[in-house]
């Protein structure tokens, strides 16, 4: 066996696997999105966009991402900075911060449902404290804002750690000498963060943000658990088309739409947070 062929040979099973179980179904979905009754058509997209729920789902999904991701980014940066500075117990802190990562998003939604539910922790606590005399419907159809806040909280709680883990790894790659040089040349801790950490962390920031934004566009189970149909989002609507309305062609069109905005934002962040080759560490 020649050394040159070996790497390709070893990669073949994984490549084949991806082709069969990812590319092929993906092609099928794309095909379904653009066909109806055997002929090429854009009708599925027209049906999708003409539904009254479509603009609402787009708005809710984007709004949720726009609120959740920046808060997560700031928190992840804070947590990563603190963890990176720990002399001892660093991995223990990492593990504890990462616990919510091990929980499925539906379970996470259910945990927060147990808090905000009519007979949940929050109501029990408030009534025991005498703040309220009867349970409040936090998640009722009239309180869209509280549903939104609850979903945002659950998402932040659940998925901040993934960004933190990426940022901690990135911070570990920045040589200490740069910080020492900045310190000697007059940079306060805040300036060092702004002038050294953030710019040198750009590749990791890019990865973390892209990953998080894509995941935010795919938010589903947490919303389903906390908001039901009161806070329609893109993924929930896709599910709705597929299973409730039994129209797989429009569902496929929705899936392609989510893919398109994900790709769009990925390209945007790749471009904005690009590090020129000559300016890398």
Q: Where on the chain is the footprint of other proteins (CB under 8 A)?
A: 175, 177-178, 180-188, 191, 195-196, 199-200, 202, 275-281
Residues 6+ apart with CB under 8 A from 169: 204
Q: Is the Cβ–Cβ distance between 269 and 209 less than 8 Å?
A: yes
If the CB atoms of residues 89 and 199 are measured against other proteins, the closer one turns out to be: 199
- Report d(CA 61, CA 68) in Å as an integer: 10
Which residues, in sequence order, are CB contacts of 147 under 8 Å at separation 6+?
138, 139, 226, 227, 230, 231
The distance of closest approach from Cβ of residue 5 to other proteins in the complex, given in angstroms and rounded to an integer, is 35
| Residue whose C-alpha is closest to residue 231's, from 107, 117, 141 | 141
- Quick one: 10 or 281, whose CB is closer to other proteins? 281
The C-alpha atoms of residue 119 and residue 134 are separated, in whole angstroms, by: 10
Q: 3-class SS at 74?
A: helix
Q: How far is the CB of 270 from other proteins (least distance, A)?
A: 18
Q: How far is the CB of 188 from other proteins (least distance, A)?
A: 7
Give 40's strand partners.
35
Compare residues 36 and 195 and give the one whose CB is closer to other proteins. 195
Find the DSSP H helices in the chain: 6-18, 24-33, 43-50, 53-85, 90-97, 105-116, 121-128, 144-172, 176-184, 189-192, 198-200, 202-217, 221-227, 234-239, 248-272
* Residue 280 Cβ vs other proteins, minimum distance, rounded to whole Å: 6
**Least distance between other proteins and beta carbon 173 (Å):** 11
Phi, psi at 36, each rounded to 5°:
-150, 130
Q: Please identify, using beta-carbon distances, which residue of 89 and 189 lies nearer to other proteins.
A: 189
Closest to other proteins by CB, 167 or 213: 167
Taking residue 127's Cβ as centre, other Cβ atoms within 10 Å add up to 14
3-state secondary structure of 201: coil
For residue 169, the minimal CB distance to other proteins (Å) is 18
CB 190 → other proteins: shortest distance, Å? Answer: 12
């Amino acid at each position: 066996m020649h050394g040159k062929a070996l790497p390709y040979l070893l990669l073949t099973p994984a490549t084949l696997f991806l082709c069969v179980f990812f590319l092929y179904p993906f092609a099928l979905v794309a095909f379904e999105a653009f066909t109806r009754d055997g002929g090429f058509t854009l009708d599925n997209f027209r049906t999708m966009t003409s539904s009254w729920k479509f603009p609402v789902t787009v708005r809710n999904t984007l709004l949720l991402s726009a609120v959740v991701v920046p808060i997560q980014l700031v928190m992840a940066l804070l947590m990563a900075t603190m963890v990176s500075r720990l002399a001892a117990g660093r991995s223990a802190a990492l593990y504890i911060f990462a616990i919510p990562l091990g929980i499925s998003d539906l379970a996470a939604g259910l945990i927060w449902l147990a808090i905000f539910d009519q007979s949940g922790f929050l109501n029990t606590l408030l009534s025991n404290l005498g703040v309220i005399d009867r349970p409040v419907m936090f998640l009722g159809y009239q309180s869209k804002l509280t549903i939104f806040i609850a979903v945002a909280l659950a998402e932040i709680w659940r998925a901040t750690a993934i960004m933190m883990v990426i940022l901690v790894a990135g911070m570990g790659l920045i040589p200490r000498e740069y910080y020492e040089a900045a310190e000697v040349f007059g940079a306060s801790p805040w300036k060092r963060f702004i002038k050294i950490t953030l710019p040198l962390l750009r590749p990791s920031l890019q990865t973390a943000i892209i990953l998080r934004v894509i995941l935010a566009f795919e938010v589903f189970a947490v919303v389903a658990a906390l908001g039901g149909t009161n806070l329609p989002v893109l993924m929930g609507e896709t599910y709705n088309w597929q299973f409730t309305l039994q129209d797989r062609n429009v569902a496929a069109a929705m899936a392609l739409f989510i893919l398109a905005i994900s790709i769009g934002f990925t390209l945007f962040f790749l471009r904005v947070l690009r590090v020129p080759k000559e300016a890398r560490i």
